[in-house]
Amino acid sequence: MKAEIIAVGTELLLGQIVNTNARYLSQKLASLGIDVYYQTVVGDNAARLRKAIEIGRSRADLLVFTGGLGPTQDDLTKDVLADYLGRGLYIHASTMERIEQLFGSRGLHMVESNRRQANMIEGCDAIDNAAGLAVGNGLEADGMLYLLLPGPPKEMMPMIDGPGEAWLRSKLSEELPLYSRLLKFAGIGESNLEARLIDLIEAQTDPTIAPYAKEGEVAVRVSTKAGSLAEAQRKIDDVVDQIKTRIGEHLYAKEDIPLEEAVVKLLRASRRKLACAESCSGGLLAELVTNVPGSSGEFVGGVVTYTNEMKHLLLGIPMTQLEGEGAPGAISESTAALMAERVRQLADTDFGVSLTGVAGPSESEGKPVGLVYFAIAERGKKTLVHTTHLSGDRGMIRLRAVKATLYRLWQALREQ
């Protein structure tokens, strides 16, 4: 079954809001084994909406509409589809009662246009809207399925999760659901990952293997349609094993969690604590780690020593290490090591990590943009210092530097 999602709303075309509904509906449809081949956004305009319906019918079996079910003049979806199909509209009695009751109970005069939210296209099933007034419509006609849902996410989401899904399932006797597993990788770039999996990617039929980059990390989605969870897991496990043979050392999770969450979990499991000292990343590492709920058990905090003075004042690093003739400088292996060791001692934690480098856009200490040193200090062990050369703009360099540091910490924790 092929589906197209049609989001109706001029505010989308003006760029006033982001189309989160398309994403939610796509995930939901995929979980039901329905392939989404197109997503379209069209404005509150009858002629163009009609055209979109026409095109949709030529290339999909199911059209899912979101938006245009409200009471205002611009809300056209039911009217346009009914007209296109040559069908009438009638009022859904129980929805009308709810609307009247709502206005009555507030002592408000009901503006006539509110009635339109109770409209049903002849022959459709009502899709209940628990969080709003506009009733959804589910219609099967001439070999096509049409599902009309409201625009506001707080109404649309429970509707597709509940009565919407039930309606679709009742129409889809033969679809096999799509099962996916998401693998997360760190310490490897997207091109490199693809290159190392190229034989699997080129040969793929079922399951499918799809790599993509996401916020400084890379992911691979392995998907298959199967009759049962057990069968799907068997097929997926086989591919995952083949992927692990090639790049297993970079695989940090088999679910969609960020690298920092995997690090916090490992710290939690071994009852260790972490502190950090950041220079070029300016607080980003601390922010990402503290984004993980409950991380205060593992992460105590740290310092942002953005200037040489602060490295001296907060971490006790001698100015002669940082400035002057022959000094290694703030951006050096030895400074990275000192920062990690000092913050570990100060906070009395098991691990201390540090980052110092050149985020850009200008060079610093005569060193190039993208050069970053980071260190992992561990109680009772030798401090490990790493160097990397990163590309991208300032923000991307900072994010990649933090992810690189977290990857090395993850490796160190795994080896214990």
Residues 182-221 that bind a second copy (CB under 8 A): 190-192, 194-195, 201-202, 210-214, 221
CA dist 153 → 58, 71, 92, 125, 160 (Å) = 28, 17, 22, 21, 10
Taking residues 332 to 371 in sequence order and writing x for each that binds a second copy by CB under 8 A, - otherwise, the string is --------------xxx------------x----------
Out of 91, 327, 394, 412, name the contact with a second copy by CB under 8 A. Answer: 394
Q: Which of 237, 238, 309, 363 binds a second copy (CB under 8 A)?
A: 309
DSSP secondary structure string for all residues of 19-69? -HHHHHHHHHHHHTTPEEEEEEEE-S-HHHHHHHHHHHHHH-SEEEEES--
Restricted to residues 138-167, the positions that interact with a second copy (CB under 8 A) are 152, 154, 158
Does 296 bind a second copy (CB under 8 A)? Our answer is yes
The reply on whether position 132 binds a second copy by CB under 8 A is yes
**Residue from the set 130, 227, 325, 366 that interacts with a second copy by CB under 8 A:** 130
Q: How many chain residues touch a second copy (CB under 8 A)?
A: 105
- CB 218, min distance to a second copy, A: 11
285 touching a second copy, by CB under 8 A: yes
- Residue 36 touching a second copy (CB under 8 A): yes
Q: Is 300 in the site for a second copy (CB under 8 A)?
A: yes
Q: How crowded is residue 114: how many other Cβ atoms within 10 Å of its Cβ? A: 18
Residues 6+ apart with CB under 8 A from 48: 42
Antiparallel, parallel or unpaired: β 208-214 and 178-185: unpaired
- Residues 81-110, one symbol each (x = binds a second copy by CB under 8 A, - = not), give ---------------------x--xx----
As beta bridge partners, residue 180 has: 223
In the bound complex, what is the minimum distance in angstroms from residue 131's beta carbon to a second copy?
Answer: 5
Least Cβ distance, residue 322 to a second copy (angstroms): 14
Q: Nearer to a second copy by C-beta: 124 or 219?
A: 219
Nearer CB in complex with a second copy: 202/415: 202
Tell me the CA distances in angstroms from 378 to 148, 278, 297, 372, 373, one per residue in order.
58, 17, 18, 20, 17
Residues in 37-76 at the binding interface with a second copy, rule: CB under 8 A: 37-43, 48, 51-52, 55, 59, 70-74
Is the bond into 207 cis (omega within 30 degrees of 0)?
A: yes
Beta strands in 128-216 (DSSP E): 136-141, 144-149, 178-185, 208-214
Which secondary-structure segment (H or E) carries 341?
A: helix 333-347
The yes or no reply on residue 310 touching a second copy (CB under 8 A) is yes
Collapsing DSSP to helix, strand or coil, 344 comes out as helix
Q: Is the dihedral of CA 292, 294, 299, 305 positive or negative?
A: positive
Query: Using CB under 8 A, which of 66, 305, 354, 356 touches a second copy?
Result: 305
Looking at the Cβ atoms of 173 and 205, the one nearer to a second copy is: 205
Q: Which of residues 226-245 bind a second copy (CB under 8 A)?
A: none
Query: For a second copy, which is the closer residue by CB, 72 or 88?
Result: 72
Is the Cβ of residue 93 or residue 111 nearer to a second copy in the bound state? 111
Q: For the CA atoms of the chain, what is the radius of gyration?
A: 28
Amino acid identity, position 109: H
Tell me which residue of 411, 201, 398 sits closest to 283, measured CA to CA. 398
What are the angstrom distances between the C-alpha of 28 and each of 18, 23, 164, 315?
18, 9, 10, 51
Instruction: Identify the CA nearest to 119 among candidates 143, 83, 145.
Output: 83
The nearer residue to a second copy, 86 or 293, going by C-beta atoms, is 293
Residue 395 touches a second copy, criterion: CB under 8 A: yes
Residue 344 CB, nearest approach to a second copy (Å) = 12
User: Nearest approach, Cβ of 170 to a second copy (angstroms)?
Assistant: 22
Give the shortest CB-85-to-a second copy separation in angstroms.
Answer: 22
